[in-house]
Structure 1
Amino acid sequence: MSIHKSEIKKITTHQIQAMKDRGEKISMLTAYDYSMAQLIDSAGVDIILVGDSASNVMAGHETTLPITLDQMIYHASSVIRAVNRAFVVVDVPFGSYQGNSSEALRSAIRIMKESGAHSVKMEGGAEIKESIIRVLSAGVPVMGHLGLTPQSIYKFGTYSVRAKEEEEAEKLVSDAKVLEECGCFGIVLEKIPADLAKRVAEEVSIPVIGIGAGPHVDGQVLVMHDMLGITKEFKPRFLRQYADVGSMITEAVGSYVKDVKSKDFPNEKESY
């Protein structure tokens, strides 16, 4: 169901918080280009994440680490031009905020200024507190990200579920509270036990969005290429595939190739 232009009301951090307060679940999806962002926005999604997952699904890298700040700004700019309603969050890529808070501020300001994005997302808890505070002090809304943090994949050594042990679980809860105290407007929790995610959503007053974090959080996010069946090899337990767009594209291109080879395309009606 697409939303009529007259019904469009821009989503803001204020409205995202109000959704949590009244118990309305928040929908979030990734987008990396103009055409897809236009489709997702018109379908009524609340938040669009310009994820550093672009490194995987758009550029074919094994991890999110190689994508640069310039590339993230390019993707974010493309998405922003398409969006009428959704709130747009952009990942600050690996290596452009961990060094120190001045670098974090520079990166966040570049994203906001050059792409027109509405906010940024940063991975980590207490260890990046100084950077988050610095970015927030410049008036840039920040979303946190805890649990499986893909930028730290070489530290973890695996993409398996995080925070199953008590020590890591307690640190995650503590980090969530740090992010709330700093002033983050929301937190993404990735691939953690559902009970722990429920605890976090209950213990912090800001919205908690899950990906592989069970049903008891305030909203859900998926990578658009995964939920549409464009990425074939990635099928984690948390993924619900809503369409098999990948097969449709392969089939359509196959038909096109066949018609060109058989001289069926273009026909008389398709010629000038």
Structure 2
Amino acid sequence: MESVLPHRAARFLGDARRVVIFTGAGISAESGVPTFRDDLTGLWARFDVQRLATPEAFHADPDLVWGWYEWRRRRVRRAEPNPGHLAIATIEARVPGSTVITQNVDDLHERAGTGAVIHLHGSLFAPRCVTVAAHPATFQDPQDGDAVELHEGRRIPPPRCASCAALVRPGVVWFGEALPEAALTAAVEAAATCDVLLTVGTSGVVYPAAEIPRIAARSGATVIQVNPEPTPLDQVCAINLRGTAAQVLPALVAAAWEATAER
């Protein structure tokens, strides 16, 4: 295992034909997006997670749950992609066979320029009908946008489905729910057929998402981890780069294609 940016990590990336980049909360935290549990601060700290992130919680008090997720969405809108997100967009642009898979529910990868992102845990920006997921659910922003401050603890009635008038719920995966089947299938297929997988800013303990790097390793891919601290994924990684995404990824990308150009 290696703890500094090694030349061989750059060589693996530069030579790769199919790259998977698998990201977790760490990369978004560098943009100022709190982790899920970190968002339970201030007035929100009065509420148990089970009262904010389960289907039962939403049906019991939809205004409370929608208010929290709207508050979180507004906070994400104020964040900006960091150099780690931008480096990942560069990889996607340079390696046509690349796939970005994220556990994050924000849109920072998309705003950094990544074209197609597999969201394993859904998205704050893809609300859906509580009864029929295929029904369109347009997210209604106030015309004055962030001019109206959403304070912590504010209850906000959810919008209604345009097709059936049922409630629209946040488009994230809640406790007790399965991951979106199409997203999980696409992620597993990408991991099983890549030659390099970069796992970035994830703890490696949230399943079934944490199985993605392990699938790549079992399928013969080189797994490279970028994380400031050791994780349970250390044992399946060929290379461990200790540092944050914003610190490590730009240097890794630059070194990868500098090495390629020299050959």
- In the superposition, the TM-score normalised over structure 2's length comes to 0.33
Normalised to the residue count of structure 1, the TM-score between the two structures is 0.32
